[in-house]
Structure 1
Amino acid sequence: MAPRLPASSVCLRCCRQWNKASFSTTTTVRQQDKQAGLPAAPPPPAGYARLTNRALISLAGRDSTPFLQGMVTQNMIMGKEPIRTARRTGSYAAFLNAHGRVLHDVFIYPVTGGNGSGSSEEPEWLIEVDKAEVKNLLKHLKKHKLRSKFTMRELDESERSIWASWNENAEPRWAAYNIESDLPSQLSASSSIVGCMDTRAPGFGARLLTPGTDDLRTHFPDCSLLAGNEVDLTTYHLRRIFHGVAEGQGEIIRESALPMESNMDAARAIDFRKGCYVGQELTIRTHHTGVVRKRILPVQLYDNEPNASPPSEKPVYNPTANLHMPPPGANISRVSARKGRSAGKFLGGIGNVGLALCRLEMMTDIKLTGESSQYDPSQEFKVSRDSEEGESSCPAAGDVKVRAILPAWLRMYIEAGGARGSHAAASEGLRARDLVEQLEEETEQESRHRGT
């Protein structure tokens, strides 16, 4: 008979962790299967990817524009009285519930008469959403439709393809038109392509909808308009993680995530000057009086090996890293014996990088108020299987160390005061002006070239 250990030799918390580990064989195998087939290298500086994890919903009819105006965080009606028109460019936005929590992160694209079944009298919008959430979003729309005059339907996969395209060396020319929404898109009214600039991170690229299932290169044979080669969906997700961009309800948790904690203010998904919409009250109150203490950030995962500490400027992807991927929703806590509040929640990852909802004043050197910061650069954090909040120095199978990385663009946005900061507003205005001026110069050069 095996000897019994003294009760004082093992803490109760460790017992719980060891019991969980002993019954987690199936979970570990599934995680290893998910880690198989990782990208062999970081994402290329230029490329494009077919987003098979996203789907489209069509809203068409005379009341579709005012209906969306009262439902989403983005402003769908531009201009001032007495001349107000429907938005003519696509945009990032969100549907919220009545308590201001995110239901769906979406891209919304206007479709003109030449682009689809709609006409100037009967506007049409395409809503891009997480494919797993299509039925939930349709149910949400039907719940609020009442007597509004419009139709809605899910598009078949064969009707349109959804693409992400990027070129870190040069922004798409027509992206300049999407910064100021009252400017028309460079895509002509007769074009079968719909698109917009992806504003979730600087230089993140563009979103494009093409008819049918043909490769994107079929529609953009000119390399100056479409750079790089097609990459798989996992490589696209890896690029999102590098930029700190969350997507879908696997990362922006349905009815739990707050829009500003999900960086939707920095991504320009929220128009704080528009009228009422579902969930506006909490959002606008946080904007004017609150402090956003948690945000989604990229994180580096590492273990206890020597020199395994990650850099502080950006994640480093290592496809050969032998790490156990923590489960989504796992608690992040300090590596210490003293109990305290949770430092955040792990959302998901690839290889040795991931995204997490991080408490800024604990995991970064950002100071949000005049109070003393809780940040200690020597303090390490771990992602634990244990879902309970707290801290422990006891070893546990499956624990992985984690370090939050604050992207430079997000740091500047926070330190400038967020959407309320005059510096942030000024920089956006200057960036828009520079891009428009650049576009005018390119157009003039093309005209001269045609003349010769």
Structure 2
Amino acid sequence: MSETLYTLLPDRAVIRVSGPDRVSFLQGLVSNNIETITARKSGYGALLTPQGKFLFDFFVYYQDEDSLLLECERGENGARAAELFKKLRMYKLRAKAELTDVSDDYDVIAVFGKDALSSLSLDATPGATAPMAEGIKAVDPRLPDLGARVLLPKNALAEMAAIGAQESDVETYHQMRVSLGVPNGSEELEIEKSILLESGFEELGGVDFNKGCYMGQELTARTKYRGLVRKRLLPIQIEGPAPDIGTAITNGDKEAGVIRSIHGNVGLALIRLERIENATDLRAGEAKITVLIPDWVQLPENAA
């Protein structure tokens, strides 16, 4: 029996960027290389402050020869998507690019489970993309273990049954995501505070160090080449009463990190790497905390 699950992601929005300058416009803003986005390859990137701090992250898809689609956070009452739309419009200036909120045209779906990619006839290459029922299917460009992202026209969910996928729920998906150590935008990244390389963007294919200038590039490059990553967003296992989000993780009498999200008995926390080396009693409130290091995470040689 196929182990393929799917869930609608209601907190996602879609913005279309069209026009002859769509690529060059985004290229000067986004952390990843927009020139690599094609009908066969989707991507993931972020928009930063001029000081290199996180503002928004999103997936980038090729829609047609004149348009790209940005799949982004919707936020409460659409607030996050509206903020991104406003920010992009502010930077558009004289670029020949048009912005359109097309969220009402699409369902955004996560397809996951052991057989997710084979059910969609996709290989396990990050970002590998193909058409699906007048929509788009793409291997998650961050990590193939997350499965795939699917953008379908509204009322086309029968396509999920056609590939043998069983409906799941959002929480099951997020428990899987968190256990793999992958952040979900502002749920775990602090707006105007978080740094991409502390949040796994290099390993998750969200930043290109060879593409040229983009907003916030200087701090991102300096963080990498000077070896300034001292904290990492990492998955944690929680034993005991679930602490509140924002609770400090302690190692004895020293703070070792802070909890950013919790889904079931797993979560994501921003961890001070020097404080978890040889740590035997990490706590958050009354809960025992175990820090997990996913295979894809590349820590400094002198870190845990």
TM-score (norm 1): 0.60
**What is the aligned partner in structure 1 of residue 248 from structure 2?**
331
Residue pair 1:177, 1:186 contacting (<8 A) in 2 also: no
Residue pair 2:42, 2:141 contacting (<8 A) in 1 also: no
**What is the aligned partner in structure 2 of residue 125 from structure 1?**
68
What does 1:155-234 align with in structure 2 at a 5 Å threshold?
A: 155-157=102-104, 159-169=105-115, 171-172=117-118, 173-175=121-123, 185-187=129-131, 192-215=134-157, 218-220=158-160, 222-223=162-163, 227-234=164-171
Judged with a 3 Å threshold, the aligned counterparts in structure 2 of structure 1 residues 416 and 73 are, in CA distance, closer, same or farther, namely farther
**What is the aligned partner in structure 2 of residue 355 from structure 1?**
268
**What is the aligned partner in structure 2 of residue 381 from structure 1?**
282
CA RMSD of aligned residues (A): 2.4
Identity %: 32
Superposed displacement of residue 170, structure 1: 6.5
Q: Distance in 2 between matches of 1:66 and 1:152?
A: 14
Residue pair 2:126, 2:143 contacting (<8 A) in 1 also: no
Q: Distance in 1 between matches of 2:101 and 2:245?
A: 29
Superposed displacement of residue 179, structure 1: 5.5
Q: Distance in 2 between matches of 1:351 and 1:177?
A: 29
Q: Distance in 1 between matches of 2:141 and 2:301?
A: 18
Superposed displacement of residue 293, structure 1: 2.0
Q: Specify the code of the residue in structure 1 equivalent to 2:20.
A: R
Deviation sequence 1:112-144 (CA, Å, 0-9, x none): 1xxxxxxx3xx2111111111112111211221
Residue pair 1:244, 1:298 contacting (<8 A) in 2 also: yes
Superposed displacement of residue 212, structure 1: 0.9
Q: Specify the code of the residue in structure 2 equivalent to 1:146.
A: L
Q: Distance in 2 between matches of 1:250 and 1:178?
A: 23
Residue pair 2:31, 2:45 contacting (<8 A) in 1 also: yes
Superposed displacement of residue 201, structure 1: 2.9
Q: Give the structure with the larger strand fraction.
A: 2
Residue pair 1:49, 1:233 contacting (<8 A) in 2 also: yes
Alignment of 1:149 onto 2:96: yes
Residue pair 1:302, 1:402 contacting (<8 A) in 2 also: yes
In the alignment of these two chains, the number of paired residues is 294
**What is the aligned partner in structure 1 of residue 295 from structure 2?**
408
Q: Distance in 1 between matches of 2:127 and 2:63?
A: 18
**What is the aligned partner in structure 2 of residue 286 from structure 1?**
223
Q: Distance in 2 between matches of 1:186 and 1:416?
A: 39
Deviation sequence 1:37-77 (CA, Å, 0-9, x none): xxxxxxx9531111001111111111111111111111111
Alignment of 1:137 onto 2:89: no
Q: Give the gaps of 5 or more residues in structure 2.
A: none
Tell me which structure has the larger Cα radius of gyration: 1
SS of the residue aligned with 1:269? Answer: coil
Q: Give the gaps of 5 or more residues in structure 1.
A: 1-43, 79-85, 113-119, 304-322, 364-374, 385-398, 418-452
Q: Distance in 2 between matches of 1:199 and 1:233?
A: 19
TM-score (norm 2): 0.88
What does 1:230-379 align with in structure 2 at a 5 Å threshold?
A: 230-303=167-240, 323=241, 325-334=242-251, 336=252, 338=253, 340=254, 342-363=255-276, 375-377=277-279, 379=280
SS of the residue aligned with 2:131? Answer: coil
Q: Specify the code of the residue in structure 1 equivalent to 2:295.
A: A
Residue pair 1:202, 1:409 contacting (<8 A) in 2 also: no
